[in-house]
Amino acid sequence: MNVLVIGRGGREHAICKAMAKAPSVTQVFCAPGNAGIAACAERVNIDENDQESLVQFAKTNQVELTVVGPEQPLAEGIVDRFLAEGLFIFGPSKEASRIEGSKSYAKELMQRYNVPTAAYETFQEAASAKSYLHTKGVPIVIKADGLAAGKGVVVAMTMEEAEKAIDDMLVDEQFGSSSRQIVIEEFLVGEEFSFMALVHEDIIIPLELAQDHKRAFDGDKGPNTGGMGAYSPVSHLPEGIAEISMDTVLKPVVQAMVKEGRPFTGVLYAGLILTQTGPKVIEFNARFGDPETQVVLPRLKTDLASLLLKLLKREKTELEWDENTIAGVVLAAEGYPGAYTKKILLNQFKKEEELLFHAGTEMDGDDLYSAGGRVLLAASSGENLEQARNRVYSYLNKQQSEKLFYRKDIGHHAMKKE
């Protein structure tokens, strides 16, 4: 079959690689893609938010399955548009994608259906938000209600940080309309992990667990980012935690969305934290996580395209996984997640590596340059996390560019436990 992947980042590179090796796939297209994606898919010069052109391309090129990578096209209703044309597409409807597009909606849904999550309140005025803050104290978590490319969360350890986050979002509209409303929630203590599942209405197929590293710098210091690295599986978590999370989080939420008349189809991503009273939800995303996808999908032995089509057709399927661990480290441009260095020369990364994923790259003539804040993700496989980490850091030590930075401690939580 012909497959179309929509998006331009590292997550989409991982999806394209998985599709390219799937026996059921003849041709992979990616709109608009990036420099690295060009090695495993035919790039299509259509913006990911140009619904009309994407629909026409899918029709003209006999695309049998479309997979949406980023959140923005989902929030704008691209799935509804494709379905109206009778085209197979994997992703949630505009209504269902609200589980990511509005944090207050997600919190209200969890509250209605008794899904464990942090206590919270929503605010539109800075004065009332600060008044609530002073009754609760710190540490505390402040979130922009809407989409903010993974950067709309501040974990404030001091009152000064918390007040600044409130002013940045509500007064200065740091994230535009996405931060006209904020959610303030309690700070939860525990081990964080990412649980993604392939969902079609009432059917849930869980994927293997991963652990992301959100903070920019070693030791979980610095501002929140879209993710600085990940690994999978997360073997130091208690046995059975995936099953518990399915029963207490994923199943109730998927069933709730059916009941509420906005059934979910696509990748439901649950960002979870294992507290003393069990797993609780930090956030939901309505698509594959980035960078988790880059360490989870390479472990999937099952034909991804066939798997998604079978799910959409409600046909039974089994997943097969590689038991090795994959550890991935993000290379980011100096200054990220703030104002970052542009157009860094990356020719040392031109050679196509099996587990090198391009996130923000473009060619200019024969030269490879950065074209974003998160630039690349390098990953390695090993029999255990220690071996996978040693291999990826050994590779990076030989490749380093002075204008890129990366965390040197991806997987440190697990290494402490082992």
Q: Are residues 195 and 254 in the same domain?
A: yes
In whole angstroms, what is the distance from residue 213 CA to residue 376 CA? 15
pLDDT of residue 8 exceeding 80, the answer is yes
Together in a domain, 144 and 67: no
Looking at every residue in the chain, the average pLDDT score rounds to 96
The answer on 286 and 200 residing in a single domain is yes
**411 CB burial (10 A radius; 0-12, 13-18, 19+):** buried
Is residue 16 located within the same domain as residue 70? yes
Going by the DSSP 8-state scheme, the letter that residue 300 receives in this structure is B
What CATH number does residue 137 fall under?
3.30.1490.20
Query: Which of 269, 291, 312 delimits the end of a domain?
Result: 312
Asked, for residue 109, whether it belongs to a domain, the answer is no
**Full DSSP string of 62-85:** TEEEEEE-SHHHHHTTHHHHHHHT
CA angle 229, 282, 204 (to 5 degrees): 85
| CA dist list (Å): 395 to 108, 329, 349, 358, 362 | 45, 11, 11, 16, 22
222 in a domain, yes or no? yes
Beta carbons of 48 and 36 less than 8 angstroms apart: no
Q: What would the pLDDT profile of 161-214 be if each residue is shown by its tens digit? A: 999 999 999 999 999 999 999 999 999 999 999 999 999 999 999 999 999 999
Note the pLDDT of residue 332: 97
Residue 397 lies in a domain: yes
Same domain, yes or no, for 240 and 268? Answer: yes
pLDDT, tens only, 286-334 = 999 999 999 999 999 999 999 999 999 999 889 999 999 999 999 999 9
Predicted confidence (pLDDT) at residue 418 exceeds the cutoff of 90: no
Domain that holds residue 330: 325-417
State which amino acid sits at residue 344.
I
- The reply to whether 380 and 394 lie within a common domain is yes
Q: Is 265 helix (H, G, I), strand (E, B) or coil?
A: strand
Q: Which of 62, 5, 1 is nearest to 33 (CA)?
A: 5
**What is the reported pLDDT for 417?**
67
β-bridge mates for residue 185, sequence order: 120, 141
Instruction: Give a yes or no: residue 280 inside a domain.
Output: yes
Task: Please indicate, yes or no, if residue 200 is contained in any of the structural domains.
Answer: yes
**Domain C-terminal end among 139, 155, 186:** 186
24-41 average pLDDT score: 98
Beta-bridge mates of residue 311: none
Neighbours of 137 (CB within 10 A): 10
> Is 108 contained in some domain?
no
Rounded Cα–Cα distance for residues 125 and 175 (Å): 15
Convert the pLDDT of each residue in 37-50 to its tens digit: 999 999 999 999 99
Indicate if 155 and 83 belong to the same structural domain: no
Q: Report the alpha-carbon distance of residue 377 to residue 381 in Å, rounded.
A: 13
Q: Which of the listed residues 132, 158, 186 is the one where a domain comes to its end?
A: 186
Spell 8-24 as b/e; 16+ CB within 10 A means b. bbbbbbbbbbbbbebee
402 shares a domain with 343: yes
402 pLDDT exceeds 90? no
Does any domain span residue 128?
yes
How many H helices and E strands in the chain?
A: 14, 23
- The tally of domains found in the chain comes to 4
Confidence class of residue 151 from pLDDT cuts 50, 70 and 90?
Answer: confident
For 265-418, list the strands marked E by DSSP.
265-275, 278-285, 325-333, 356-358, 361-364, 367-370, 374-382, 404-405
Q: Identify whether 393 is part of a domain.
A: yes
Q: Give 94's pLDDT tier (boundaries 50, 70, 90).
A: very high
Per-residue pLDDT, averaged over 142-157, amounts to 89
The string of pLDDT tens digits covering residues 62-83 is 999 999 999 999 999 999 999 9
